[in-house]
Structure 1
Amino acid sequence: MELIFYWTDHAGVAVFAIAGTLLAFRKKMDGFGVLVLASATAIGGGTTRDLILGLPVFWTHDPNYLYTIIIAALLTIIWLRFRAYIPMATLMVADAFGLAFFATMGAEKTLSAGFSPFIAIIMGTISACFGGMLRDVLARDIPMVLKSELYATTCIVGATVYVVLVPYQPLIALAAGMASTLLIRLGAIKYNWSLTVFRDHQDH
């Protein structure tokens, strides 16, 4: 089971590195900019989670995560050499997959460290959202987490599903947590789902 979690974590890092590389391509950044944006997206959330929880930062003890970022970025660059334009929807879908991986894996790592389910949900959300937020800030974009479509809420749902199910069947909990995050986020992208708090007011 630990091996499955480990490779799932690497898959999340790879997907977020791809999302960072896609945005760097849209912003016409150089090679260094690509690596910075890919790395910030891929490990920014997990780094923040570990620092808040007082845990060793995961990638400093396992450089394989950095190799995953470099490989994912290079493969994406090679693919982009044959593409003249990348639709924004492609970046958003890649980002949605990253959210799905990290919302559950962030919750899993928090529970494994002995923290409560409630803290696990919060840390799962931070793990998923903060890297993308850092990426968007560095690229001078409005962070996706601040836009109207459901974003952080999807991570809360996914992490909650994982936390509720993991005592019974960890593998099903992992799949259900990722699927719920991904499906809700993709639905929000397609149908503009949002949690409306304030009504529109017109000046009189």
Structure 2
Amino acid sequence: MALFRRSSLLPLWLLLTASCAAVAMPPTKVSERLVMPPTPGYVALTESVNPSGSRVMQMVPTHQSAQNWTDMLSIHQVLDPSGQVPAPRQFLTPIEAGWLRACPGSTSTWLREGEEDGHRFALLMLTCPNNPATGKPEHAWLKGLQGAHSHYVVQKAFRYVPQREQTLEWMAWLRGTGLCRPRADGQCQTSVSAAPAR
């Protein structure tokens, strides 16, 4: 289940906040940047911002498409100008609940929670033996990150059961995904690091 597609098993509120609109991202009080390791061979399918400030980007390997994909990366940023950004588990829990309701026999596992470079995070694994919308198995790993004025969800989804090598590779990639506050020169300094996904 790609996090933001209508064939997804995820809650409607995520689908609604992912609706497209050609507007600029509202400014935030504290500048922060989502840092991710390189993803060679992946291309952007969509990148959009809606009027509420939610930003969505989806990427697939070059030989795949929105209609016919087996691997997908989704990045979702929700702006909260109030500064009352929920903890990662709090905003991942509705996603977990929607997945478990929509897919018979599905499972969820909270893999890790903690803090990286002063930002709280949580890592959630979801499995679905047979997505009713596609007739295929679906696995997803989601990393939630709590920023100063936004929360972020980075998801890697598979429409098959990933092999051990893929699991290790993408878990390392997710470990290397984090937030930083750019210095005056615009460069980020962060402790999270990982090899590029292949």
Q: TM-score surpassing 0.5? A: no
Structure with higher Rg: it is 1
More helix by share: 1
> Which TM-score applies when normalising by structure 1?
0.31
